[in-house]
Amino acid sequence: MRRFAGSLHTIRLQLSNSDDCARLPSLANFCLLPNVTGEIKHVKITSAIKTKADAGTLRQVVAQQIRKYAPPSETTTAESACWNCTRNGRKNHLICTSCGYLQDVNEEVNYFELFNLPSSFSLEQQELTRRFRQLQTLVHPDKFSNKTTREQKNSADWSALINKAYKTLSAPIERGQYILKLQGQQMPQDNSALDKAFLMDMMERNEQVEEANTSKDLELLNDAVVQELNASTIELNKKFELKALEEAKNVLVKMKYLLSVQKSIKSKLQTLMGG
CA count, 13 A, side-chain hemisphere, 40: 19
The dotted CATH code for 70-170 is 1.10.287.110
Question: Within the chain, which residue ranges are assigned CATH 1.10.287.110?
Answer: 70-170
**Domain 196-274: top CATH class:** mainly alpha
Task: Report yes or no on whether pTM surpasses 0.75.
Answer: no
Q: Give me the tens of pLDDT residue by residue for the chain, a chain 275 residues long.
A: 444 444 444 434 443 444 434 343 333 333 333 333 444 334 333 444 444 444 454 445 445 445 455 555 554 445 568 888 887 655 556 888 788 889 899 889 999 999 999 999 999 999 999 999 999 999 999 999 999 999 999 999 999 999 999 999 999 999 999 999 999 999 988 777 788 899 999 999 999 999 998 999 999 999 999 999 999 999 999 999 999 999 999 999 999 999 999 999 999 999 888 75
DSSP secondary-structure letter at 23? T
CB 27 within 8 A of CB 66: yes
Residue intervals of the chain classified under CATH 1.20.1280.20 are 196-274
Burial of 271 (0-12, 13-18, 19+ CB in 10 A): exposed
Residues 6+ apart with CB under 8 A from 184: none
Q: What whole-number distance in Å separates Cα of residue 236 and Cα of residue 127?
A: 21
CA distance 140 to 152: 9
